[in-house]
């Protein structure tokens, strides 16, 4: 034991203070660098507007979508009359609800209910191929059946294949050949039974509906998505018919969509209320334009 305890204790305290200060000044273990933010993608949704994409839904994840089409034709009336009607927002609307579930990473199934004819559509989709470095496209196949009056009237089976190409982070293109059986349903034939298809001289009736004597319809859906800002995308689609029942004009839609936290909001303009394959197969108006929107969320 030292003869002078006070100086000894002071020296010990000073040593401990110096050691603790040196330890505090030593840098902490380096933290791993934060991962770079994911590059923005142009594929935002399971649908373009009414046509499918090839974007997969992860296993056991869900997807919900609302479609809304206002019933007033934007080409009817003056600008002042449209403004009084808040550009059709005061009009009635055709609303649809859709839910789908990812059974696996490549297989999803869902149901869609539209108040247009009280139509219910059930469908299943298989994402067969995904775009990779050695494969410049993705491929999905969809089978569906829909019917009016809650699937009790005029069932319409359908099958489609969607081929997509994503170019960088800006552009995505889609081609969807689709076949709908019985697109020309008995209900739609009502009112055409006495329709004449030619006069006494054998001339064509100008009001004749192309393919009215056929029940089925085939069309090729063409879709595009173009990202103009990090969270803003332009969309467009058209579905020309190539076989069978082809009334009116091919269904078309253009729009702009915004990616928010968890939601995709889309404002669109088109010539049809249709959102299901059978409704798209029957085409849209030859002159009317309707305002609408889609809203979707994955969870």
Name the one residue in this structure whose structure tokens are 């009280």: 118
32 — pLDDT class (breaks 50, 70, 90): low
* Tokens 């004449």, residue located: 196
Of 14 and 265, the structure prediction assigns the larger pLDDT to 265
Q: How confident is the model at residue 188 (pLDDT cuts 50, 70, 90)?
A: low
256 domain residue, yes or no: yes
Decide if 29 is inside a domain. no
Q: Judge whether 32 lies within some domain.
A: no
| Mean pLDDT value across residues 196-215 | 63
Residues with Cβ within 8 Å of 184's Cβ and at least 6 positions away in sequence, in order, are 211, 212, 214, 215, 216, 217, 244, 245
**Total count of domains within the chain:** 1
The pLDDT confidence band at residue 137, using thresholds 50, 70 and 90, is: very high
Q: Residue 249: inside a domain, yes or no?
A: yes
Distance CA 209, CA 248 (A): 8
Residue span of the structural domain in which 247 resides? 47-187+209-298
Residue 283 — very low, low, confident or very high, per pLDDT cuts 50/70/90?
very high
Backbone φ and ψ for 120, nearest 5 degrees, come out as -115, 130
How far is the C-alpha of 222 from the C-alpha of 254, rounded, in Å? Answer: 12
Give the residue, 185 or 57, on which the prediction is more confident: 57
Domain for residue 40, yes or no? Answer: no
Contact between 100 and 46 (Cβ < 8 Å): yes
In this prediction the pTM is: 0.80
Asked, for residue 26, whether it belongs to a domain, the answer is no
Q: What is the CATH number of the domain that holds 119?
A: 2.40.160.40
Question: Which residues, 6+ apart, have CB-to-CB distance to 28 below 8 Å?
Answer: none
Q: Is residue 15 part of a domain?
A: no
Rg (CA), the chain: 30
Residue 226 within any structural domain of the chain = yes
Q: What is the pLDDT of residues 141-157, one digit of tens each?
A: 999 999 999 999 999 99
């Amino acid at each position: 034991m030292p003869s002078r305890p006070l100086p000894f204790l002071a020296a010990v305290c000073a040593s401990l203070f110096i050691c603790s200060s040196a330890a505090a000044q030593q840098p902490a273990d380096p933290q791993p660098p934060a991962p770079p933010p994911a590059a923005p993608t142009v594929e935002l949704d399971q649908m373009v507007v009414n046509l499918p994409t090839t974007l997969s839904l992860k296993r056991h994840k869900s997807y919900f979508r609302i479609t809304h089409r206002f019933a007033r034709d934007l080409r009817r009336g003056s600008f002042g009359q449209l403004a009084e009607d808040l550009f059709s927002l005061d009009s009635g609307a055709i609303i649809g609800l859709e839910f789908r579930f990812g059974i696996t990473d490549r297989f999803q199934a869902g149901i869609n209910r539209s108040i247009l004819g009280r139509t219910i559509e059930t469908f299943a989709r298989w994402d067969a191929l995904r775009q990779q470095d050695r494969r410049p496209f993705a491929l999905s196949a969809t089978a569906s059946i829909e019917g009016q009056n809650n699937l009790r009237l005029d069932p319409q089976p359908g099958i489609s294949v969607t081929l997509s190409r994503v170019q960088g982070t800006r552009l995505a293109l889609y081609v969807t050949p689709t076949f709908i059986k019985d697109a020309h349903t008995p209900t739609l034939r009502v009112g055409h039974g006495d329709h004449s298809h030619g006069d006494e001289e054998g001339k064509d009736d100008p009001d004749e509906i192309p393919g009215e004597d056929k029940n089925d319809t085939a069309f090729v859906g063409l879709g595009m998505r173009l990202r103009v800002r990090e969270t803003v995308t332009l969309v467009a689609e058209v579905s020309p018919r190539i076989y069978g029942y082809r009334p009116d004009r091919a269904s078309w839609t253009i729009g702009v969509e915004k990616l928010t936290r968890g939601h995709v909001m889309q404002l669109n303009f088109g010539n049809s209320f249709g959102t299901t394959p059978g409704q798209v197969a029957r085409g849209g108006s030859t002159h009317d334009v309707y305002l609408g929107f889609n809203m979707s969320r994955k969870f």
